[in-house]
Amino acid sequence: MRLVYRLLMMQVIRCCSLLLVLVNASPSFSQNIPVLKSHTYNISIRDGDDFRKGRWNIDPKVNPDVYEAPMAINQKHKLVTFITDVDSLQLSVEMGKTYSFVIIVNDKDSAFTQVKTVQSAVNFSSEYIKSHQGKTLVEIPAVYELVNIIIALTNTGKSKTGLVVKNTAYYQAVLNWFSHYDQEPVVKKLDSILSGSYVEYFSIKMNAYSFRFNAKGKIVPSEVYNRLTSVNTLKPFLADLQHFADQSKFGLFFKQHQSLYNQLIRAYRDSIGVLEMQTWLGKNFPQTTYNSYKIVFSPLVGNNQSANWFEYNGFKEVQAHVNFPYRNEVEKKEFSPEALHVKDGNIVFTELNHNFIGPEGQKLEYQNKLNAAFVNLTTWIRQGSPAEKAYNKARACFDEYMNWALVSLRYVDYAPPLEQAKLIAKMEKFQVEVRGFKKFGEFDQFLVECVFRSKLTHLFRM
């Protein structure tokens, strides 16, 4: 009798949990909300013609758990289907609307889920896909450079250490040409934003890639990119950007420095092992694949890198927004040209590998273990350090630890053997003492030793 009572109570609790989700969803549609059944917490989505196997992790704690369905410009509706091991739910969605349903896992856990349609950040047409499939492009785009020049003219750009590279002939050329325009409205407006929030720097810079100059010298939206971040923060300043470009004769400056841009592009494309990095990442993260890579930079950008990836129409593109790896005189004396060749690639490598570490870490089988290991961040991050400000979440902290540990593993595979230990030690010292990742040395050495043991095992088996 007691067993029957317990089973009955369990059923009642399950029903109450589901009822609570339905009521909290919205009074207007709680009576007719669709229900999707599943026996697993990892399910697939078919978004239009794009099938994303195992890409949705069910989390009952998130309420609502929102899937953003990207809609192309002028697209009115499409089909989005959630597929489990035992069930499926197909929704016909329209732009600007939200669709709610509940996922029931193993007849006990319930997750209130929504599909929200949003304008796609990108539009990869069939022509674009054909011309970019398998390609790696390195670019210094014109509007991108215009925005970086304006950033260099702001008071924030002039005063903040590391935001702009100032010890080059190119920086002096920028000042000589544009310093008379540092009171232009767009300079003042962007400075106001940059001085208030350092994070906005990345949004302003990256979104410059969503605009281009047309044949008449007018700044127009890209046909491919609507935005590079969640909101295109540069869009309100287009008229001011155009005025600055016209008044300063930016187009002439950009044309006169094209040979320098091409020289730097060639160095990035041919001299730091970008293709080798992609091969290395593909080999070590075989379940994560991309169709195209873009490296976007300006000669003015300081130690400020960011990365993102976009997926649309079955096509996945990675972008790394980086600085140029200028060499300092100390390192020229400290390492051989061969070692510096590998080290120069760290800037791009540490941005590209985020796009492999991230999807791997998001897998359900790792999430609980990662959260448990990094639950007390004071173990991993020194208080008051740059790391505490930028990586104060478990996943973010782990990702950055792994990000730079992969640099060491790449050294093991590609750097001159006699210089590997010195390269690794210098990088570990910087991560611990400058950035504030307290346990990076131990974390890094554990992985390096694992790789060495693996190599020795493979060698003895040959």
Return the pLDDT at 363.
79
Q: What is the pLDDT of residues 94-130, one digit of tens each?
A: 988 999 999 999 998 999 999 999 888 899 999 999 9
Mean pLDDT of 314-329: 92
The reply to whether 265 and 402 lie within a common domain is no
The reply to whether 168 and 249 lie within a common domain is yes
Q: What is the pLDDT of residues 36-75, one digit of tens each?
A: 999 999 899 999 888 888 889 898 888 899 998 888 777 8
The reply to whether 261 and 374 lie within a common domain is no
The reply to whether 279 and 130 lie within a common domain is yes
The reply to whether 110 and 137 lie within a common domain is no
pLDDT at 295 over 60: yes
Six token digits for residue 57: 């992790």
The reply to whether 154 and 103 lie within a common domain is no
Q: What is the pLDDT of residues 387-436, one digit of tens each?
A: 998 898 898 999 999 999 999 999 999 999 999 999 999 999 999 999 99
Domain boundary among 57, 87, 119: 119
Q: Find out whether the peptide bond into 60 is cis, omega within 30 degrees of 0.
A: no
Q: Which of 236, 207, 56, 214 is nearest to 122 (CA)?
A: 207
pLDDT at 379 over 90: yes
State the residue range of the domain holding 195: 126-284
Return the pLDDT at 16.
43
pTM score, whole prediction: 0.79
The reply to whether 168 and 77 lie within a common domain is no
CA atoms within 13 A on the CB side of 410: 30
The reply to whether 249 and 149 lie within a common domain is yes
The reply to whether 66 and 158 lie within a common domain is no
Structural domain contains residue 307: no
Query: What is the count of structural domains for the chain?
Result: 3
The reply to whether 132 and 114 lie within a common domain is no
Q: What is the pLDDT of residues 230-278, one digit of tens each?
A: 889 999 999 999 999 999 999 999 999 999 999 999 998 888 888 899 9
The reply to whether 111 and 132 lie within a common domain is no
The reply to whether 112 and 237 lie within a common domain is no
